[in-house]
A and B are shown apart, each in its own frame.
Chain A
């Protein structure tokens, strides 16, 4: 069922159970995440759910209504301008068989393995057998990117797109959306493909994880795609259902980070730019390349920014709350910005050519973030390696784990 305000079927008489504290849409049972007030207009108390308020209010006096799930087979062809590599083909077959046999699957693919292309064949199979498919991700930028690429390939399909304020709706047979939007689906999708399963905020939000289970049918399957799986994910899909892609699509090795020692923040406090950082940036500018500099904190980034600006002109900063976030990324892509200082928001989902990466105060970052950050370099076949530099105060377990995992990938296999 798909919930919306003009639905013709009533699913529950009231969207929120005022006594038991249950939201029937998002299954929130946390008492703190409800708000109760006295309505003078209706002369009684109303309780509504704060957890899924972003999708419109569900409260204790309005029925929760929706449209019944329909299935329809359709001819589903796609265009692909290049041929998949052997390992991509193998992965693609795995996806198809997972969809056919209704098994869960974990695609453990290195960053830049060409994950999106791998699912095409599976989507085609599902649509031609009348299964409802959703491709979801916790991140809006990933959703936009995936929708663009799917739209380019599946030219004749009507793809629903939903995130934040944007809604392009058809019959919900083939949907691309953020995980939040799945709150509006109940027992609807036969196959849900989750990209970047471990990204914020999905990883530690039990309501959102529940939303995926709720949106799929009883025998539906989930296909998880990630570069940094956790033990929990392995447990979720079962040990036998993992497929690993340890090579990038262009066949080159992942870049192994070079570790430098230094205390950037301390020198920034003394209004000095760390010599090592400056030499690295100088080298990158001389080679006419671009660079992403990752900072662990917004404050630290803003303190370092004027110092970097003193030596280098084309520098900018970006963080999650930045209104010009997307335009800055676009300007970086066009080469107007040469040095982009960023927090972890650009750790995934972005591709620039001729890119190097510097991480300052690497000791603050966990290893899955670092693996994603390393994956920004060398994503284009024209420039398949790139350079990754870690500047750290001291060595940490997470840095070692990152280097170990990347080297293991380059050897051909990695353990989770």
Chain B
């Protein structure tokens, strides 16, 4: 077995404790590198590192002024330099094996939600990249998800400035395909890859909230 992150060999000694657990896809040292959190005072809600003078998180104040905030935001990893490199390799070099690495970090308690909704990727982007970076991870972690959203967004969020992101209209529309999905009074979890300003997930949440779910939570793989 090799580590999918550094491609070095993993030698795991089989013992009673790990005999029935899932096999690890990354080695111990890569695990440590990826799970490190940068130091600093963080916003309790969105986990952003705040400046010394900041009492309340600016991003969260802005979000609550424009959107109905989601119930909670969880991030699996910090966006440290190692995670940044992994995300680049995954999304732009298209090293899809890293979806397995990220799937190893996922710990969604499925019984707490009725629908787990991934943020969609536009057709254009899908053709260029060859895969949807969120559903690939969910698939590999064996999480059942429901695709409820569609988008025509062409530009990447990372290609836009913050001002552009703020001014943009909601790019998501409700599209459950042929399935008959009820949102009313359901518990929804929105899954995205990187939470930067929070505008993407709140746009998605806005679209879903129009159909009155009982709660909307957010899970992201990484917090920028």
Contact indicator per residue, chain A 36-69, by CB within 8 Å of chain B (1) or not (0): 0101111000101011011011000000000000
Contact indicator per residue, chain B 21-36, by CB within 8 Å of chain A (1) or not (0): 0000000000001000
Contact indicator per residue, chain B 75-108, by CB within 8 Å of chain A (1) or not (0): 0000001000000010001111100000000000
Contact assessment for B7 and A33 in the assembled complex, using a CB-CB cutoff below 8 Å: yes
A240 adjacent to chain B (CB < 8 Å):
no
Contact assessment for A56 and B7 in the assembled complex, using a CB-CB cutoff below 8 Å: no
Contact assessment for B93 and A56 in the assembled complex, using a CB-CB cutoff below 8 Å: yes
Contact assessment for A41 and B33 in the assembled complex, using a CB-CB cutoff below 8 Å: no
Residue ID in chain B nearest A323 by CB atoms: B81
Contact assessment for B94 and A57 in the assembled complex, using a CB-CB cutoff below 8 Å: yes
Contact assessment for A51 and B130 in the assembled complex, using a CB-CB cutoff below 8 Å: no
The residue in A39, A46, A51, A57 that gathers the most chain B C-beta atoms within 10 A of its C-beta is A57
Residue ID in chain A nearest B99 by CB atoms: A37
Point out the residues of chain A lying under 8 angstroms from B96, CB to CB.
Answer: 35, 37, 48
Point out the residues of chain A lying under 8 angstroms from B89, CB to CB.
Answer: 53
Complex CA distance for A321 and B97, rounded to whole angstroms: 23
Contact assessment for A41 and B7 in the assembled complex, using a CB-CB cutoff below 8 Å: no
Determine how close the nearest CB of chain B comes to the CB of A202; give it in whole angstroms. 16
A231 adjacent to chain B (CB < 8 Å):
no
B127 adjacent to chain A (CB < 8 Å):
yes
Contact assessment for B93 and A41 in the assembled complex, using a CB-CB cutoff below 8 Å: no
Contact assessment for B94 and A41 in the assembled complex, using a CB-CB cutoff below 8 Å: no
Contact assessment for A42 and B130 in the assembled complex, using a CB-CB cutoff below 8 Å: yes
Contact assessment for A41 and B95 in the assembled complex, using a CB-CB cutoff below 8 Å: no
The one of B95, B127, B130, B131 that contacts A53, using a Cβ cutoff of 8 Å: B95
Cross-chain pair count, CB within 8 angstroms:
37
Contact assessment for B127 and A41 in the assembled complex, using a CB-CB cutoff below 8 Å: yes
A32 adjacent to chain B (CB < 8 Å):
yes
Point out the residues of chain B lying under 8 angstroms from A56, CB to CB.
Answer: 93
Number of B residues near A (Cβ < 8 Å) is: 16
Point out the residues of chain B lying under 8 angstroms from A35, CB to CB.
Answer: 4, 95-97
Point out the residues of chain A lying under 8 angstroms from B4, CB to CB.
Answer: 35, 50
Contact-residue size bin, chain A (C-beta under 8 Å from the other chain): 10 to 19
From 38 to 94 in chain B, residues with beta carbon under 8 angstroms from any chain A beta carbon are 81, 89, 93-94
If A32-B2, A33-B2 touch, whether A321 touches B33 (CB-CB below 8 Å) is: yes
If A32-B2, A33-B7, A50-B7 touch, whether A39 touches B131 (CB-CB below 8 Å) is: yes
Point out the residues of chain B lying under 8 angstroms from A323, CB to CB.
Answer: 81
Point out the residues of chain B lying under 8 angstroms from A53, CB to CB.
Answer: 89, 93, 95
If A32-B2, A33-B7, A51-B7 touch, whether A41 touches B97 (CB-CB below 8 Å) is: no
Complex CA distance for A51 and B89, rounded to whole angstroms: 13
Complex CA distance for A35 and B93, rounded to whole angstroms: 14
Complex CA distance for A39 and B139, rounded to whole angstroms: 12
Determine how close the nearest CB of chain B comes to the CB of A157; give it in whole angstroms. 31
Contact assessment for A41 and B2 in the assembled complex, using a CB-CB cutoff below 8 Å: no
Complex CA distance for A359 and B126, rounded to whole angstroms: 54
Contact assessment for A57 and B95 in the assembled complex, using a CB-CB cutoff below 8 Å: yes
Point out the residues of chain A lying under 8 angstroms from B130, CB to CB.
Answer: 39, 41-42, 46
Complex CA distance for A50 and B2, rounded to whole angstroms: 10
Point out the residues of chain B lying under 8 angstroms from A32, CB to CB.
Answer: 1-2
Contact assessment for B131 and A41 in the assembled complex, using a CB-CB cutoff below 8 Å: yes
Complex CA distance for A51 and B126, rounded to whole angstroms: 25
**Which A-B residue pairs are the 6 nearest by beta carbons?**
A35-B97, A57-B94, A53-B95, A32-B2, A37-B96, A41-B130
Taking A32-B2, A48-B95 as known contacts, 18 extra A-B pairs with beta carbons closer than 8 A to each other, sorted by chain A number, are A32-B1, A33-B7, A35-B4, A35-B97, A37-B96, A39-B131, A40-B131, A41-B126, A41-B127, A41-B130, A41-B131, A50-B4, A50-B95, A53-B93, A56-B93, A57-B93, A57-B94, A57-B95
For this complex, 24 residue pairs linking A to B, each with C-beta atoms less than 8 Å apart, are A33-B2, A33-B7, A35-B4, A35-B96, A35-B97, A37-B96, A37-B97, A39-B130, A40-B131, A41-B127, A41-B130, A41-B131, A42-B130, A46-B130, A48-B96, A50-B4, A50-B97, A51-B7, A53-B89, A53-B93, A53-B95, A57-B93, A321-B33, A323-B81
Which residues on B are within 8 Å of A, measured CB to CB?
1-2, 4, 7, 33, 81, 89, 93-97, 126-127, 130-131
